[in-house]
Structure 1
């Protein structure tokens, strides 16, 4: 690899690193501008974007509503991370880490903030008593895979996705390094799903809801356009699982919330009621 880099004794940010998200990256945290977040009429207030992490929560909420949990009604407001919305004072008050998604539960006198997508899924599952098995063995297995996803996805997104799809220049070493890890992870999933319909076992759960937006979208070639490069079709059990979950009406509804790219029928910047999603999906050919 050419252009070898010798690290200085003390790193300083002298220039942007380049790439699609370079303008928002800085080595410090906290609010960069003042803005009060909107608060809608529903109990749950979501501030997000339809990235894989954002899709986890909107799919979860749509699953709960489909199960008849009226208390899971939500307002979903767009956080445009490319424009730095996540650095507003209002957003930082909910999530000091300035990452989407962030949830505020207004169902009681004192709003409860919940940040980090895995924490939000667990919070909603425990609050409403759905999509997390009750028996200790199956619950523990489900939690194993939920935490596996939370630890593994950064290698897929921030590692493989960044260097393969978003970095301003392509270098063999980082692409090879993170491709190897991504394929290893796909193999882990494939072996688990060889004898199990879902990650936790026979029951669809928050482990699947967390994992599908990342690995399902990758093998279905809806993110990074890397399915051929990764030989995704060879992971037959992952592909079976990904296609099965893709067909769930709740997934089709949740994946378009806070989405502002793609076809017209899959874009919904804000969601305040089921009718908002219905109106967008009615445009699907």
Structure 2
């Protein structure tokens, strides 16, 4: 059994989608990052960096894993799925996983902050991160022109990247003119396991907070 500590963010969705795709049994623990739960001592014993997601593998002696990319690699290796067994294939998946971890996530994350939440409208910062995110999208589109998925077959590289690109509008970044990326987004969004994973820890349709309350929650996170 896997204990999943997560919240409604792209990084959180990576792991819930992977668990659904792999068919692994798991228990969800909602970590309300707006209330600072991730900074409490109990959670810091699982992830000393105080971020979601994190997992504890109860079948492996309560082994804790943090960092979303590391969790995806762990789950793929644990099950022998969503990752090729040959060296080159594994390297290809890892390369595109690292592309998301080091590129798409950080750049789009900063675009989100400056475009949506920063108290001042710093246009040079907004332009810098939106433009870089769009550039990274063109890299994805070029790759997806020649391959159905990022590393050939559907893998943890796609699972890592999809939750970010699906919310491109929130960062003010368009996918217009990127037909291969759009095709890929649609194909992954239609997967039943992906749809289930996006309802963890709860469906956003059930989020009773107002837009003002959600924005205040994010402001609280940025101040920490």
Give the TM-score of the pair, scaled to structure 1: 0.70
SS in 1 for 2:146: coil
CA contact (8 A) 2:18 2:72 kept: yes
> How many angstroms does 1:233 deviate by?
1.9
Q: Which has the larger radius of gyration?
A: 1
Distance 1:175 1:217 in 2: 16
Distance 2:134 2:80 in 1: 34
Distance 2:174 2:108 in 1: 15
SS in 2 for 1:75: strand
Give yes or no for the alignment of 1:78 onto 2:26. Answer: no
Q: What is residue 119 of structure 1 aligned with on the other side?
A: 70
Give yes or no for the alignment of 1:95 onto 2:44. Answer: no
> For 1:12-23, what aligned pairs fall within 5 Å after superposition?
none
Q: What is residue 263 of structure 1 aligned with on the other side?
A: 205
Q: What is residue 97 of structure 2 aligned with on the other side?
A: 146
Distance 2:121 2:177 in 1: 25
Match of 1:252 among 171, 188, 195: 195
Distance 1:133 1:164 in 2: 38
Distance 1:73 1:107 in 2: 11
CA contact (8 A) 2:130 2:171 kept: no
Judging by fraction of residues, say which structure has more helix: 2
> How many angstroms does 1:167 deviate by?
1.2
Paired residues, what number? 206
Give the TM-score of the pair, scaled to structure 2: 0.88
> How many angstroms does 1:173 deviate by?
0.8
SS in 2 for 1:263: helix
SS in 1 for 2:119: coil
Give yes or no for the alignment of 1:49 onto 2:7. Answer: yes
Q: CA RMSD in A?
A: 1.3
Q: Which has the higher contact order (CA 8 A, sep 6+)?
A: 2
Distance 2:107 2:147 in 1: 24
Unaligned runs of 5+ in 2: 208-224
Moved over 2 A (4+): none
Distance 1:106 1:241 in 2: 34
> How many angstroms does 1:253 deviate by?
0.1
SS in 1 for 2:99: helix
> How many angstroms does 1:169 deviate by?
2.2
> How many angstroms does 1:225 deviate by?
6.3
Unaligned runs of 5+ in 1: 1-42, 66-71, 268-285
Q: What is residue 216 of structure 1 aligned with on the other side?
A: 166
